[in-house]
Chains A and B, each alone.
Chain A
Amino acid sequence: MMNSTQTINIRIAGLGGMGILKSSHVLAEVLFRSGYDVKKAEVHGMSQRGGSVASDIRFGQKILSPMIPDGETDYLLILAPEEIDIHRPALRPGGVLINAQSFDQVPLPNRKSLNIAMLGTLSRHLDIPIETWSRIIRETFPEKLHAINLESFSAGRNLVK
């Protein structure tokens, strides 16, 4: 868990088309509305063509560099298993890896919402009320996708007790 002065670093990584930019948007909004300073860094331009995509989200009292230094990632969310090796050196010793493979047996309403399910798992580690998450998810997605994404978020949240 976090204390008020430290910077927490989260990386979401995978391939284009997996919803990495969308889930990092939800996460950054949730942190912003919770009163933290937050920076979210991502490189656009290639994401629709199946290339590697990663987004760094840093939050705390005061964030300087937008990119996470090597070995300082507290939570690493990997949506494409083959991308793990690229990002493993970024993980802090003792950091938490949330891997897509953990969801292989989890019934999700739609596999496309894996990105939001993984945020559900992450939410267990962050001291943020569940109402904030569901509010931002509702604000981010069109109404017809609310149920799918909220359900996926809960499925991910219930993965860890």
Chain B
Amino acid sequence: MIERKLLSGNEAVALGALHAGCTRGTGYPGTPSTEILENFDAIGGEAEWAPNEKVAAEVALGVAFAGARAMVTMKHVGLNVAADVLFTAAYSGVQGALVFVVADDPGLASSQDEQDTRRYGIAAGVPVIEPADSQESYDFTRLAFTLSARWKTPVILRMTTRVSHTTAIVQPSAPVEAPAPAHFVRDIPGRVMVPGHARIKHRALRAKLAEIQEWCETEGPNIILPGTSDTGIVSAGVASMHAREARPEASLLKLGMTYPLPFKLILGFLKDKSKRFVIEENDPVLVEQIRAAGGDVPWNPESYRMGELTVDRVRRILKGDTTPEPATPRGRPPRLCNACPHGYVFEILKKHDCIVAGDIGCYTLAALPPLSAMDSQICMGASIGVGLGLRHVLPEAEARRVVSVIGDSTFMHSGLTGVAEMVFNPPATGHVLIVLDNLTTAMTGQQEHPATGRRLDHTPATRIIIEDVIRAMGIKNVTVLDPVRQTAELEQTLIQALKTDALTVIVARQPCLLAAGRIRASERKE
């Protein structure tokens, strides 16, 4: 018997993947998913950061095409980037196993939206499994690999912030025998998704899902916890824990698989209940599906699709309490570190009243007072496209004040195509792009990326030189400056650039204060 351990949900996923024989883990950092791959690496798994989630998912798909077992990790918005892979990988299926671990962030602890990954499962036709705690994070990761291997389909393991970042007891079980070594089996009609092949595969996918649904009815990871009252609650994920605590006397059907749903099980459970509730976080995905299947369950008030659920909020739903909820005290928001190199750049942008198309990273904190020096932040890489769009249509005096600002990791993730657009369709007033290069993926906890020259485990890799790539793409005015030691030059360069009609890129390079020590230590080792 393996010893019990205290593990976070993310650590439990990593251990579950290792014990399921996962051959390679890929991903891109994003709160709350980041620690999964870091832990997988730490306990002996083969893990890598890819430039972005789409590439990570493609590498994982290739691993699974070769008969091996792959896991790809990301936060919810990362699946938007990887969605192109997901939808067609659902058609092609896999030879080995492929698990998408996607961490949602209800309540927006550190995200730009509250999207619900379960909708992707439904839209793409990919099974979705939802753990409620660390033990299930371990067990369901293993189950996800088993299902993926059995039905040759990708499987989504939907985590949420609370499950990822709650530490609880895990009893691991015996690891599986090492899976068969990877080898290539040719399957052109199965993996070349031209229309003639894909039409057939779409039918096969739907037949596969019907089989999985049948399996889920009788053997799925769903449990009924009986109660003493005539109230029945259908729930999933950490919400089911809140529900059990809020109303222990109610019967609880806790669904471990939320797509495809076991409708016979659900409708059978609800049949003799006089009061029925569905308790779920984010969108009413279960309510919609159960109602569509003929289940008589009520909609919860709209306000509960926003924010995290808690025992208190579940009690309100169960009581039908629709009075305004007490405001949650927010506490002090995070801010740029004192003397953060990014701060120097934003002081200049603010001084010159620039219109700043921003991006995703620590530097987004510059949008908050006292700096208030960022005007948009939408998704990874959007700074460049949005900045160009603004330049195209704003009156000239305003267009000349538009600057795009992007971090180094975000640039490698989604900035290259933005630069291609900048070169291909330049605005009449030109454009200015500032790459805030602090030599790490700072916001998520200092992960490496292709322009740091180090892999996930901080060992050396070929470093991509951002300014060289940008020059090679056809931009002539590329300047690299240290925002801390060359603040005045940086300001002058920006002023000049804003005056001309040319395309200018300024790489403001200075290591992140928090990462500097570790970067120096890694460099000494090299």
Contact = CB atoms under 8 A, between A and B. Distances in A.
B331 A51 contact: yes
Nearest to A7: B245
Given A45-B109, A51-B333, A69 B6 contact: no
Given A16-B334, A51-B331, A83-B331, A64 B169 contact: no
Contacts of B334: 16, 46, 49-51
B332 interface: yes
Contact of B165 (A15, A41, A63): A41
Interface stretch (A31-39, A111-119, A143-151): A31-39
Interface in B134-170: 161-162, 165-169
A37 B168 CA distance: 8
A78 B335 CA distance: 21
B166 A40 contact: yes
Interface string A60-97: 00011111011000000000001101110100000000
A135 interface: no
B31 A44 contact: yes
B251 to A, nearest CB: 15
B167 A40 contact: yes
Interface stretch (B182-190, B205-213, B236-244, B486-494): B236-244
A28 interface: yes
Given A40-B167, A64-B244, A66-B238, A50 B335 contact: yes
A66 B331 contact: no
Given A38-B168, A52-B331, A63-B168, A45 B245 contact: no
A69 B310 contact: yes
Interface in A81-135: 82-83, 85-87, 89
Interface in B301-341: 310-312, 329-337
B85 interface: no
A49 B109 contact: no
B444 interface: yes
B169 A38 contact: yes
B335 A39 contact: no
Contacts of B479: none
A43 B164 CA distance: 9
A46 B445 CA distance: 9
Nearest to B248: A64
A88 B310 CA distance: 18
A65 B242 contact: yes
A52 B331 CA distance: 5
Given A64-B244, A69-B312, A37 B169 contact: yes
B423 interface: no
Given A49-B334, A67-B162, A67-B311, A39 B110 contact: no
Contact of B444 (A37, A41, A45, A65): A45
A28 B165 contact: no
Interface string B5-48: 01000000000000000000000000110010000000000000
Contacts of B311: 65, 67, 69
A116 B56 CA distance: 41
A66 B162 contact: yes
Contact of A45 (B31, B330, B333): B31
A28 B337 contact: no
A32 B6 contact: yes
A45 B110 contact: yes
Contact of A44 (B32, B133, B335, B337): B32
A118 to B, nearest CB: 19
Interface string B97-112: 0000000000001100
Contacts of A40: 6, 166-168
B362 interface: yes
B436 interface: no
A73 to B, nearest CB: 13
B35 to A, nearest CB: 8
A29 to B, nearest CB: 6
Contact of B332 (A15, A32, A48): A15
Contacts of B162: 41, 66-67
Contacts of B242: 64-65, 67
Interface in B241-257: 241-242, 244-245
Contacts of B393: none
A39 B133 contact: yes
B287 interface: no
B290 interface: no
Interface string B110-129: 10000000000000000000
B6 A65 contact: no
B495 interface: no
Interface in B464-495: none
Given A45-B32, A46-B333, A65-B311, 12 more contacts: A40-B6, A40-B168, A42-B165, A43-B161, A44-B32, A46-B110, A48-B337, A49-B337, A52-B330, A65-B310, A66-B238, A83-B331
What 4 pairs between A and B have smallest CB-CB spacing?
A52-B331, A51-B334, A49-B334, A45-B110
21 contacts: A16-B334, A28-B6, A37-B169, A39-B166, A40-B167, A40-B168, A41-B162, A44-B31, A44-B35, A45-B31, A45-B444, A46-B109, A49-B365, A50-B335, A52-B332, A52-B333, A65-B238, A66-B162, A66-B166, A66-B241, A69-B245
